[in-house]
Structure 1
């Protein structure tokens, strides 16, 4: 969604497609059940990484065919994929139109994620864009997130934000307890009613439970989940911020993000110059993410931070490192944008 909005601002026609809309209904309808199971039991979530496989048999052939026909009518030949699970669909489209496509495969992890591993060498002919490239000394390429400058550290609220990514998975509930014992004030993203445990030191936020990534909003577009600030005894009001995830404003104003090392969370950390404090990873690709971010000086493991008494000076240094890195970083703009202005991407 962020990339789509960026292309809009650049005057480049684009369409965002959501993979789940191509699933067989029976498979798609199970997604909320998996989400709840992964939220409740991180061990189950981590096991699922080892079981990743080709999703072809999960795809509805009629839905796929209709999408390919739409693409063909519009003569679509340039694509940006944020997961390797698009590979069998792109391969089918190439056979359908008999044309070699221009495809950027985006890697928001510092190592191959399961969505790419399951397809082996089948993606080699596409253009691979690595954002967190371990072979390079510095972080050089970002996804567009915001035009807002980072808020200086001394102007930020004395709070840290804890969450479990899009599906609410990981060890963040225990981290919240540890942070409270350490005297911290927190913003916490809740995912289900039972996640909200009233405490004067916690501001709870929650995505609209009626929202789904594969449903279009009132403007006929896929969008970010509306979010509400929960206040005890008051009915939550879910608000949509439009072109950025509503939680991003809290990320800009807090001192650190406490979460598992998801690739999108790292990009939000960079855009806001907000340090990451890493909880246990979800798979080897997220382990590589944390190692990379810490090596850049942009974050710290939760265990190390806790051992050092939740020292704010560690966060200040990481914030300064993020600010310095932003001075040299280019912005990815999509395959068509690259042909128009190759100074924006390599």
Structure 2
């Protein structure tokens, strides 16, 4: 393939970062030249530092996070122009033509690139991680409502059509059969530890459930006597730091024991916890949908973060792949409901198309048609 595939992610949420690394690993495994870039590398330092401050605030106060989600960020005010100039020079020098973009924040930079190369054709695949465009895409409507005019749009999960079209491969193993899974439930608040998940732990405890809790910080580790396990991402790690982009370093956390944070090459380590759980209890972010489908692990749906996550929840519920926490509670926390959802997920996974294989085939088709 003549031009390196450039995968444009964002570290703002792991749902726009981890899928990029999954795609990159799959491409490299097929001996296709590809590279991941993370948007926050090209943001001025004071704006980038503010992300970490907001992350802590939103973890503590989900209502504040919900308010901020409705206030689109015009990224043009935050761009580090020198850094962008450097990356555009590299793209031009290397004649980059193939891009997969997961965050709307990159569109301004891609448009700049098109101008620089005199509008020569480039192959840009906008990959929507959520079932409808998330805030980084909706924010473009203020200054670039026709942003997708020159680019391809692909939905993994489509709220409008009420269907799953594609899956992103995570590892190579088949889903664990429901009956073979441990009688445990994973519970988390996404990459930023947001939402109402902590409010549910005591009630689940009272009903005898053993939990795999993804803690945001070490002082949340408790309840081990109830049979819970606690896990964490390395709190010192940030997606956009360092010269290489890696899956989030992850470890089980025990009181009095120093965590051993590790990162796999193939996929995010937290997936191993999720694929062995009866269900995952969390807000319905796009990254969780990818994992749910790949592992055939049902989602017990908590309050969504914004309209795009509400659409995700509605789609999963409509297709019988997830259930609202309150509805599951009203059923008496029945496991047989979840087993049916697991089976539905297996069927959906088997009928969906591997996004990366489809992308490669289209790219090869484009190259062959140009040669003819």
After TM superposition, the score normalised by the length of structure 1 is 0.94
Q: What's the counterpart of residue 203 of structure 1?
A: 229
Q: What's the counterpart of residue 31 of structure 1?
A: 51
Contact 2:167 2:349 in 1 (8 A): no
Q: What's the counterpart of residue 18 of structure 2?
A: none
SS at match of 2:82: helix
Q: What's the counterpart of residue 230 of structure 1?
A: 253
SS at match of 2:244: coil
1:340 and 2:364 matched: yes
Q: Shift of residue 335 of structure 1?
A: 4.4
SS at match of 1:30: helix
**Number of residue pairs aligned between Structure 1 and Structure 2:** 339
1:213 and 2:239 matched: yes
Contact 1:206 1:230 in 2 (8 A): yes
Q: What's the counterpart of residue 202 of structure 2?
A: 177
Contact 1:198 1:232 in 2 (8 A): no
Contact 2:221 2:254 in 1 (8 A): no
1:66 and 2:86 matched: yes
Taking the TM superposition and a 5 Å limit, the aligned residue runs for 1:113-262 are 113-119=134-140, 120-136=145-161, 138-200=163-225, 201-216=227-242, 221-262=244-285
Q: In structure 2, how many angstroms separate the alpha carbons of the residues matched to 1:148 and 1:124?
A: 38
Q: Shift of residue 137 of structure 1?
A: 5.2
Q: In structure 2, how many angstroms separate the alpha carbons of the residues matched to 1:198 and 1:23?
A: 40
Q: In structure 2, how many angstroms separate the alpha carbons of the residues matched to 1:327 and 1:335?
A: 18
Greater Cα shift, 93-102 or 70-79: 93-102
Q: What's the counterpart of residue 112 of structure 1?
A: 133
Point out where structure 1 has 5 or more consecutive residues left out of the alignment.
none
Q: What's the counterpart of residue 292 of structure 1?
A: 315
Point out where structure 2 has 5 or more consecutive residues left out of the alignment.
1-20, 367-372
SS at match of 2:240: coil
Q: What's the counterpart of residue 279 of structure 1?
A: 302
Greater Cα shift, 138-147 or 29-38: 138-147
